[in-house]
Amino acid sequence: MEYRQLGRSGIAVSAFGLGVMTFGGQTPEEDAGRQLDLALEAGVTLFDTAENYPTPIDPATQGRSERVLGGWVAARGVRDKVVIATKVAGPGNAAGDMRHIRGAGRRLDRANLRLAVEDSLRRLGTDFIDLYQLHWAERAITTLGRSRYSLLPDEPGQVPIEETLAALSELLDEGKIRAVGVCNESPWGVMRFLAAAERQGLARIASIQNGYSLLDRSFELGLAEIAVREQVGLIAYSPLAGGTLTGKYGTDPAPIPGSRSSQSAGFLARLSSGRQRAILAYADLARTHGLEPAQMALAFARQQPFTTSVLMAASSAGQLADNLRATELRLPKELVQAINAVHDAGPNPK
């Protein structure tokens, strides 16, 4: 396993991390424990969760993912060996109605952030969080998953980035968190966070957790240069595009028991003809080079110069064991060129 610096925080993280958003929900606790053990044995040190997990979002299960992860860390006695990352839910989350988390007035202000941190610390059973991330921006961002921009007016009471960052800086100074990150952010937002940190002497964000995969390389259009030049690397989620890059879905895709396709009625409907063509082309490329499609997709995301870590997420321990074979895989130059050719023929298919 390769280890990389988390921005300028001084924290080292594994180049592959484990996302636990289904733990405590779709993934039974026993299988979650097996996955966590497998990941740690493979050298994974970064474990990512959020206060609103598990998914699908449900008031009855909210916070269980943090509890499952924290319980495993305590039972194994590995707090000094792992980097725990979690997230705070603000008003801009795109996960549906979450008024069960701090009510309708949930904001990224000082009061909400302090309440959220204390609740996460309690569920995780720890004295500090290594990487504390804003799950979504306070404002509406209209470019994620889309190829064009729409201007939406700011809502009344929107908390400025500077105010949010000042509150996070207090938590860092108090030792409750060790580093700050953003998720689902735009180039403008990242640069505003960096400018505020420099101008006001506040905490500097260490990472950007956005979606990135062979089917969605939009991060490269504006954020990649920022990530490299400003040392705010990508923590890539959904590197297998919801499982579609595993090679499981052919020309006539059908739901697979236990997978996301069986959990969401609209999942397969989103597999447009353009996406299916790209998926099949990537699968053919992988097999031509003696690789499993999932392993190729994971290795590609990992070896990008702007990537700090790639979050794996698996439906079962068996699937995770297969994906972990990508940890030492390095794609040759000719394969990367072939991947880029497929992408260039139909970038980021919808």
Q: How far apart are CA 35 and CA 20, in angstroms?
A: 9
What is the C-alpha separation between 21 and 19, in angstroms, rounded? Answer: 6
pLDDT recorded at residue 156: 85
pLDDT of 149 reads 85
Strand duo 177-183 + 207-211: pairing = parallel
- Looking at residue 126, its pLDDT comes to 98
What average pLDDT values come out for the chain (350 residues) when binned by 10 residues? 98 98 94 97 98 93 97 98 96 76 92 98 98 94 81 87 98 98 97 98 98 97 97 98 84 56 55 90 97 97 98 94 95 98 95
Peptide bond into 56 cis (omega under 30): yes
Q: Where are the beta strands (DSSP E) in 11-114?
A: 12-14, 16-19, 46-48, 83-88
CA–CA distance, 177 with 130 (Å, rounded to integer)? 6
- Domain boundaries in the chain? 3-243+301-329
SS3 label, residue 284: helix
Q: Provide the sign of the torsion angle of the four alpha carbons 26, 31, 33, 35, taken in this order.
A: negative
DSSP 319: H
CATH topology (fold) of 3-243+301-329: TIM Barrel (3.20.20)
Torsion of Cα atoms, 221 then 49 then 326 then 13, to 10°: 80
Residue 321's pLDDT is 96
Verdict on whether the full-model pTM lies above 0.85: yes
pLDDT digits (tens, 9 = 90+) for 157-196: 899 999 999 999 999 999 999 999 999 999 999 999 999 9
Q: Please, what is the Cα angle at 75 between 71 and 79, to 5 degrees?
A: 80
Active site includes 53?
yes
Quote the pLDDT of residue 311: 98
Q: Which phi-psi region, left, alpha or beta, contains residue 238 (left: φ > 0; alpha: ψ -120 to 50)? A: left
Collapsing DSSP to helix, strand or coil, 68 comes out as helix
The pLDDT, as a whole number, for residue 256 is 55
Residue tagged active-site, from 3, 53, 132, 212: 53
Q: What is the DSSP string of 95-156?
A: SS--TTTT-TT--SSHHHHHHHHHHHHHHHT-S-EEEEEESS-SS----TTSSS----PPPT
